[in-house]
Structure formats: C-alpha cells, structure tokens
A = this chain, B = another copy of it.
Amino acid sequence: MLGKVTVSGARRATRTLWLLVLVSLSVSICVCRASSSSSLREEDSAMENIVTEKQAEESHRQDSADLLIFIMLLTLTILTIWLFKHRRFRFLHETGLAMIYGVLVGVVLRYGIHVPRDISNVTLSCNVNASPATLLINVSGKFYEYTLKGEISANEVDDVQDNEMLRKVTFDPEVFFNILLPPIIFHAGYSLKRRHFFRNMGSILAYAFLGTVISCFVIGLMMYGCVTLMKQVGQLDGDFFFTDCLFFGAIVSATDPVTVLAIFNELHVDVDLYALLFGESVLNDAVALVLSSSIVAYQPEGDNSHTFDVVAILKSFGVFLGVFSGSFALGVATGVVTALVTKFTKLRDFPLLETALFFLMSWSTFLLAEACGFTGVVAVLFCGITQAHYTFNNLSPESQDRTKQLFEVLNFLAENFIFSYMGLTLFTFQSHVFNPMFIVGAFLAVFIGRAANIYPLSFLLNLGRRNKIRSNFQHMMMFAGLRGAMTFALSIRDTATYARQMMFSTTLLVVFFTVWVCGGGTTQMLSCQRIRVGVDSDQDNPMSIGEGTERRSTKLESAYLFRIWYNFDHNYLKPILTHSGPPLTATLPLCCGPLARFLTSPQAFENECQLKDDDSDLILTDGDINLTYGDITVSTDASGAHTSGGLAFAGVTSDDLDRELTYGDHELVMRGTRLVLPMDDSEPPFTDPHLRLQM
C-alpha cells in the first residue's frame, strides 16, 4: 500500500514537475518579451526627453522581469533536485543541474528573443579630461545625474547598443561578493565539523596554504609558457602579462566544497578524507581570494614586465600576509564580540532578537572587513568558525536551530543561484574570448597544478603522519578538486581587458567540466578507489581503532600542534566567552579573583548546564554522548595511572584534547581543572588557587 502510494506520488510528481517546467519557462520567456517591449516604451519616452515616474517604473519592471527569470530557474532546479533525490540519482549534483538550466535559459535569451536596437544609448563625444564617478549632464537646462558603470572596450560599444536585454540579465559582479558569497562561506565555517577538522589541522593547513600557492605558481608559469607560445603562433591578439597568468593561477586554484561534499555526506565517506577535502576547500577559497587580490594590488598600471620580479613577488606576498591576517583578526574579533554580547545580555530570552543580532553581527564582519580594505569573505569564514566555537554555546536552543536553518537556507539559495547564473553567462555574457589553445593549456595546467599540490604535499605529510594519507585518498583528493562559486566570482569580477575576458571564458569551461565530469563521477571514483562508504561520521576511522600506539600517536601529532592553544582556549577563552568551561575562579590566578568572579557566568558553576550549553550538538550525535560517558571512567583511570612522566602526561592531555575535539566539552569540563594541574578529586576545589601559588 505504502509502496503504491509512493510510486503514484512519484508519477504525479513527475507530471506536476514537467507541467511546472513548461509553465515557468514560458513565463520567463513571455517575461523577456515584456521586458523587451518595455525597453521599447522606455526608449520612446526617452525620445520625449523627460524622465518621468513612468520611465522609472519601466526600468523597475524590467529589473523585476530579469530577477523573475532567476527565481524561475531556482524553482525548477529545486523541483528537479527533489526528483533526483527522490529517485536517488547521484550522477548529477544539484549544482550541475542549476548550471544546465542556466545554460538552457541562456540559449533562449540569446537566440530566442530579438530585442530591437536600443537607440536610447547616445554616444557623447565631448572632450572631458576625466571619467568621474558621478556625472551631471545638462540637457537643455535640466540636470540629469549619471553614475559610472565601468569602462567598455571600444569593440563592445556596438554590443552595448545592440543587446540591451542581454546586458540587463548580467549582474554587477560585486553582487556575488557582497550578497551571494558571504552566506556560502559563513555557512561553510559555521557548519565545519570541527572535530575532524582539528584532528587533521596540520595537513589541511598545508594543503590549503602551501598547496594553493604551489598550484597558483605552477599554473601561472605553465600559462605563461602557453601564452608566450601563442604569441609566437600569433594566436594571441591582445596583451597578456605574467601577472595575468599568476592571477589566473590564483583564481583556478580555489577548489569548491559544495558538490563533492554533498555526495560525501550522503554516502558517509571516510571521515578523515571528508575532513581533509572540506577543510582544504574552505580555507583554499580564502587563500586564493587573498592571493589573487594581492597579485592585482601589486600589478602596476599597464605593466609590460615579462620578467620574473622577485621583489614584486615578495611584496605581494607581504600584501597577502597582511590582508589574510587582518581579515582573520577581524573575523575572530567580531565573533568574540558577539559571544560576549550574547553571554552578558540575557538576549536568550528573546530568540528572535538573538537570531537577528547573530545575523547582523556576522554580516557586519563582512562589511567591516571590506570597509577596512581587508577581504570580507575570509573574515566571514573565520567569524563563522568563531561563532560556532563560542557564540553558539550562548544561544538559546531555539536560536541555535534558527541560526543554523537560516544560514542553511541562505547558503542553499545563494549556491544554486551562482551556479545557474554561471550557466546563464555562458551564452548571455557579451565578450567571450574562447581561445582553443589557451583552453587546452588551461585544462592541462589546472590538472598538473592540482597534482603538484596533492602528491608532493601528501608525501611530505606522510613523513610526519603516522595515520598515513593512503594513495587512494590522494587520488580521490586529486579527482575531487572541483572549481566552483569562488573561482567564478573571482573571474567575473573584472572582465575589462582582453586577458581577463579570455580568463573568464576559460574559467567557465573549467568549472563546467569539473562540476559535471568530476562531480558526476564522484561515486564511481569512490568505488573504483575502494574508499569505504557508510562510515558513521562520529566514529573513528579503522586506522585509529584498535591499534593503540597508532591512535595515541595520531593524537600526539595534533596535540603537539594545539596543546598550548587548546589549554588556553579551554581554561580561559571558553569560560570568558561562553557559559561553558570550568569557572574562571578555578583557572585564573588568585590575584584577579574579582575579575574572574565577574566574568564567570553563573551557569559555569552548575555542571548540569554544561550538557545543554556546550557545542556538543554541533559536532555530536546522541550516540556520542553515551560514548562520552563510556569514556569518562576509562580516561580518568588512565590519567590516574599516568599522572607522573612527561611523555605519558603529554599523551594523556593529548588524549583529553582529542576527546574534547571528538566529543565536545561537557566531559572535559568536569575534569577541566586537572588539565591545568593534575590532582586527585579528594581535595576541595576552592584550594586550587593556593595550590597553584605554592607551586
């Protein structure tokens, strides 16, 4: 009976779906018609030489029509995604779908609709000695205000005058950076599985920073070779500087978490591989973004230097460091401020206010960074991580859900919008430059660049790691290096020059290829690489189960990296910023007793709050909580046995660290003070400070 229902449901669904498809496509087309006709009317009234409400109305109607196309696209995508999920198709991911629909509509717009030549573009040829941001034009006594939209290469001028309509559906690239990217990146940071992320921190940082820089330079150099070759052959009809090559290398080095990880999530692929890929691709975006912007910042006006200038490289490396650290600092700072506000005000009584505040603060991070000249996206990323690590504990349970769901929805919409827009631009973008040679070179370079990132680094890392990154993992990472939203946004940001246009077109192809081919082939690749799926992402992977020494050492590795930070975080930051963690009165030296009492929230004294307050539900399933309590007794025995002996002690703390990263705080908290100073529990807690002073 139920089976029948489902089937019939599916059949109905398909009918409804395709009905919807037809309806909405026709709608979007008729909409385009409307818009084109509106542009006609617009031009008439323009000839009448008056700017009335009507004209504003028309242009507004035009904009609505354009936006409507995208809404329809997204709706279609969502319905098809549902159908795919319903039928368990995995060969094409939703983002790939979005792109396909985008391409379809792009074709319709490009060839289906003929917009009459828009005469309303008057080309003035006055002798102005500047291209100001704002322009006042004195038309027979009336002043009209114009704002600068950008430079147009002379060959585009005709296009501009021809396809008004196509240009209308082309967004200002800044939209991507100010509206669409932030929620995506923030969500990535906010939903980061910190447990496995921290355990593989070292490797992730290596891949993200070193790897991206390597692949940037490898690709840059190869493209430079390719370009010079093209010059020889005479294929290149425009300038293409070395810095452009580096820029290209930077933007195509940003791998995209979306597609692969969606599938990984579905299939429960090995958690370490998941952590490596996700962590890399998240940080990766940040690195590539800053890298490219620092390359641009270095690039002098009309620079013709083909020479490999070391000073310049160093300089832009300096810029890179400055911008990155600045953005990092800003992001963390706002996260900390939010944590403090949510801790010390009782906002949690009003979840709506709380959610709104959370949202605004997270967004302000972005704006603040941009306003200060740092990179907003990077700031937002680290803000997201901070929010998840600290603020999340202070939120009321309702706001915890709300914020998670809010950003989940925003992320979903933004992502699919970007990808469908990608598909659209393939046909609607005015000045594509498809250069076969360059494209082939680019694909080659991207491939080799990825290889030069993964394999050598994995080799080096495996020297350090006891829990090796096996070769099939490496192949998978190599294969899973998709390019996505960030690459696209970076490449569309500036398409003024010939070089940039060629880059943009090529990048588009790279993204399409990787998303469709690599993204689609993920499942096959996983099976042919014999990477086991169906792992419960909250258990340890087979390597570190059973083999005690192996396990211990893995933890040691991560512990060495983070022991200091971890202790500091657990004993001071968490208590100061959140309601969880041990009371500061126990961890701070006696001298700042009153301060400690002021900063410690009443909850910190009651242990039963911990379970609710810590961020366990961010990285735990209920299964874990039992696991945790299973562990407590064991580990306390262990630490009891190991209280003497440096290495053993380190081992223990690393145990603790790993357990915290693994199972959240609530269990560590109960033994938090022991971390600072090992002592058996018989002594009353209030003597801690004295003891510490005696030592």
Which positions in A face B, CB cutoff 8 Å? 5-6, 9-10, 12-13, 15-17, 20, 27, 31, 34-35, 42-43, 46-47, 49-53, 55-56, 59-61, 63-65, 67-68, 71-72, 74-75, 78-79, 81-83, 85-86, 118, 120-154, 156-157, 160-161, 164, 174, 177-178, 296, 301, 337, 340-341, 344-347, 349-350, 352-353, 355-357, 359-361, 363-364, 366-368, 370-373, 376, 402, 405-406, 408-409, 412-413, 494, 496, 598, 602
Contacts and interface: CB of A to CB of B under 8 A. Distances in A.
Contacts of A52: 301
| Majority SS at the chain A contact face | helix
Each complex incorporates copies of this chain amounting to 2
Contact of A363 (B71, B139, B177): B71
B154 A136 contact: no
Contacts of A123: 136-138, 143
B346 A51 contact: no
Contacts of A55: 133
Contacts of A341: 16, 20, 79
B359 A51 contact: no
Nearest to A120: B132
Nearest to A23: B337
Contact of A75 (B346, B364, B366): B364
B132 A128 contact: no
B53 A494 contact: yes
Contacts of A150: 51, 56, 144-145
Given A124-B137, A402-B405, A142 B151 contact: yes
B131 A121 contact: no
A244 to B, nearest CB: 12
A160 B85 CA distance: 55
B409 A346 contact: no
Given A124-B128, A174-B60, A367 B68 contact: yes
A146 B143 contact: no
Contacts of A496: 51
Given A144-B131, A145-B152, A412-B356, A350 B85 contact: yes
Given A142-B151, A356-B413, A371-B68, A124 B124 contact: yes
A177 to B, nearest CB: 8
Given A49-B130, A341-B16, A364-B68, A359 B144 contact: no
